Every structure is written in structure tokens, then in C-alpha cells.
A and B are shown apart, each in its own frame.
Chain A
């Protein structure tokens, strides 16, 4: 698995397949994280970005070079393992992006020094970033090659799914964003955080299993 992750990163770096999402993320983060909002609002916004860019990076890395995927899959132990490695690599990158952006907002916001629950805030943000990027990646896996062949279809369906995740009040990502946006936490917030985190991780696991089965079936 480590070899497959390494392949994914080296290929993404050399082939520039993640360069466009990265530049767009950097621009959006620069505007969002350095705006007038307090740092905790900016941090929560990073969850929405993680969702979007998780899906984008996953679609971008799927099936771009016919034949090459087959050779790599044969080398690393199968198409499902390769796709899982691509998903994991995208997740690492998106979470790193999100925290990197959050550091920007911390650097400029002196309020953080007076925050009552910095550890809890960090836990809330970590949960948000991991769940949001995981959901985004699961959406990307379910809508991209080899599950769906059309890239236009992949981006269209992903956009709909991402909007639903952000708009529906029951969506774990939406719940986690609202919890992370609080300037201080109540007991009920901690319960919502834990519940949404568990449901979110469960959804990610279930979606990944379905997506990887589909990859095995269609590759």
C-alpha cells in the first residue's frame, strides 16, 4: 500500500494532475482564511473546501492515461488497491491543505490566544477535515472512472452531491461545520460532534466499500 501511495504522489507531482485543484484551493483559501471572519469561522469553512477538493482530486487522478492504470494496478496488487491508494493520498493532501489554510487564519487572529478550549477546537476541526475530505473522496470514487466513464458526468454528479452535503442540515459534514463554527462549546455541541463524526466515518467506510467493489467489477 505504501508503494501505491508513493506511486500516486510521484505521478501526481510529475504529471501535474493535481496542480489545478491545488492552485484554486490556494486562491480560495487565501481569500477565505484571511478575510474578516474570526479564525474559528475560517477553520470551519476549510471543511467545505476539503469536501470540494477531496472530490476534485479523486476525479482528477482517475483513469487519465489508458494502459498506464493497468500496468500500475498489476504492479501494486490490483485496481482496487491502486484506487484506494489514490483516495488515501488525496485525503492526506486535502487535510494538509485545510490545516495549512487554518494556520493562516490563526496567524492573523489574536483571539486564538484567549480561546478557552483550544484542544476541543482542534479535535472539532480535525474531525471536520477528515470527515469532509473522506466524504468528498468517496463521492469522487463513486462518480469517476472506472465506475462512470464520462468526466463531465463525474463532475456534474459530484457537484450535486457536494451541494447536498453542504445544504442538508442532517448531513454529517454540515453538522460538523456548524459545530466547528462555534466560538465556544456546550455539552450538546460535543455530543453533536461525536455523533456526526461517527456517522460520517461510517458513511465514508460504506461508500468506499461500494466504490471499490464497483472498481473491481468495472476495471
Chain B
């Protein structure tokens, strides 16, 4: 379980995150959607403990937090195994699945090849092994498929599914390179988070019309059906208010909201 409450972060005069609340429950996969430069990597760094918020709290519980940053320059002088061993020791936890994950990602670490001599994809596999080899807890994955081949992406999808089924809370940023089935999607926009549950229990739906004046501005949630100007979002009942607020703020027109009983 990882809980963030009223988290704020700014750099110089630019506020990147405003009052962000987020809860990652055990056994759930959450996908974070956002445009480039919107602060999603900052949010993930904060959640992983790689940076500190200006205000607000982040509780990480007792489980381990595995983190794959969006870019990584491997430190020279380390082989894959020596790196993974030292990271495990630095964290003070055994990483019991390291060998299994290395094998599944088809990494054949030898005792001589340095991380800096590996291809980008193989170095990324080592980084993913660092995250997935640990005991279950929380996984924060920032574009983990960077540089991976299709086979490795497929293995990564399996690893995420398995981790989730075994009780790990997963938060992943992915630009559609994986066939993930997230339980919910959170969208970061203008420093604030909006959440949509996608857990299969369709409890409410919001149908919106696109205002002609809005132009090509994208709606920040994944939407289905309806062609260009008519979108339906199926979401958790608790998320309706947030979706409505954002849609109205963006000058979209709400045509109907359907509640769990089916009434409009």
C-alpha cells in the first residue's frame, strides 16, 4: 500500500504538482497517463522515494518499493550481477527473484561484461530485474519498456500481471507499448490527478459531446465509442464528479450521466 496526500512539488517558480492525492492498493495495476513534460516522472520519483515533496505526505508502508526511472545511465565499473547485489545490499533486503527474472528476460549475465558495455535494451532488462526481483510491495515503473524488444515487453507484461496477482501495487507510465489491463487509469493534467476506475465493474458512464470551439484539444481520459464528437467514459461511480469537473473545465458538453441503477 502506498498513499500520497496533498503532495506538492515545484521547481523554481514552476509548480509541477498541486495537491496530488493517490492511493495504490495491493494487487492493483494503475496506469498513469499524461503528456510529455507534465510532471509524471516527478510524481513517480516522489512516490518511489527518490525525491522529497515540498509539502504533503507519502506513506510507503513496510513493503519494498521497486523503481524503474524513465532514463538511466548505468554506473561504470559494475557488472549486472555486482550491480544487482550491491543495490540489494544497499536496500537491506534480499531480492529472491533476481535470478528467475534475469532468465525470463533472457539476460545472460557473465562476470566480466560491464553494464556500460551492454546494449540499451539489455541494460534496461537489468534495471527491470532490480525492480521485479525484490519481495512484493510496490512497483513504480516509468516507461519500463524503453529499449526493450517485443519478447521482453511481453515478459514484462507477464511480470506485471503476476506481481499484481501476488499482491503488489503497480503504478506504470507507458505510452501504449504494452498490452496492459490496468484496474484504473489516473491522468495528470496541469499538476492535478484525475482518476478513472477501469476494474470491469462498470458502475457509471459519462457521455460527453465535444464543443466545436475546443478544436483539437485532447480529452485527458481514454474514451470509447461515439466517433469524433461523442465520447463515452465508463468509470467508477466515485470518479464521475472529477470527470465532470474536468470536462466542463475543458468546455466539453455533458450529454448524460448514467448511474449504477441505469437511470439517466
Contacts and interface: CB of A to CB of B under 8 A. Distances in A.
Report if A and B associate in a common complex: yes
A76 interface: yes
A10 B78 CA distance: 10
Interface string B34-65: 00000000000100111110100000000001
Given A66-B71, A68-B74, A4 B52 contact: no
Contact of A3 (B45, B73, B82, B92): B92
B74 A73 contact: no
B130 interface: yes
Interface string A188-219: 00000000000000000000000000001111
Contacts of A64: 75
Contact of A6 (B50, B51, B76, B89): B89
Interface in A112-157: none
B52 A74 contact: no
Contacts of B76: 14-16
A67 B91 contact: no
Given A7-B90, A10-B86, A68 B65 contact: no
A219 B50 contact: yes
Contact of A75 (B45, B73, B91): B91
B51 A219 contact: yes
B90 A73 contact: no
Contact of A68 (B45, B75, B89, B92): B75
Contacts of B75: 11, 14-15, 64-65, 68
Interface stretch (A21-29, A77-85, A170-178): A77-85
Given A6-B89, A219-B50, A219-B51, A14 B72 contact: no
A65 B73 CA distance: 5
Contacts of B82: 14
Nearest to A73: B50
A76 B91 contact: yes
A3 B77 contact: no
A183 B89 CA distance: 48
A73 B51 contact: yes
A74 B48 contact: yes
A71 B87 contact: yes
B51 A79 contact: yes
A67 B82 CA distance: 18
A65 B67 CA distance: 16
A71 B73 contact: no
A196 to B, nearest CB: 34
A10 B87 CA distance: 11
Given A70-B45, A70-B67, A79 B50 contact: yes
B72 A68 contact: yes
Contacts of A68: 72-75
Nearest to B114: A14
B72 A66 contact: yes
Nearest to A3: B90
Interface string A96-114: 0000000000000000000
* Residue from the set A67, A77, A79, A218 with the largest chain B CB neighbour count within 10 Å: A67
Contacts of B71: 66-67
Interface in B136-169: none
B90 A74 contact: no
B52 A3 contact: no
B69 interface: yes
A194 to B, nearest CB: 37
Contact of B65 (A14, A66, A74): A74
A79 to B, nearest CB: 6
A22 to B, nearest CB: 15
A209 B50 CA distance: 19
A4 B87 CA distance: 10
A10 to B, nearest CB: 6
Closest 10 A-B residue pairs measured CB to CB? A14-B77, A67-B72, A70-B50, A75-B91, A7-B90, A67-B69, A216-B52, A74-B50, A65-B73, A74-B48
Given A6-B89, A15-B75, A71-B67, 11 more contacts: A11-B75, A15-B76, A67-B73, A68-B73, A71-B127, A71-B130, A73-B49, A73-B51, A78-B50, A79-B52, A219-B50
Interface of A: 3-4, 6-7, 10-11, 13-16, 64-80, 216-219
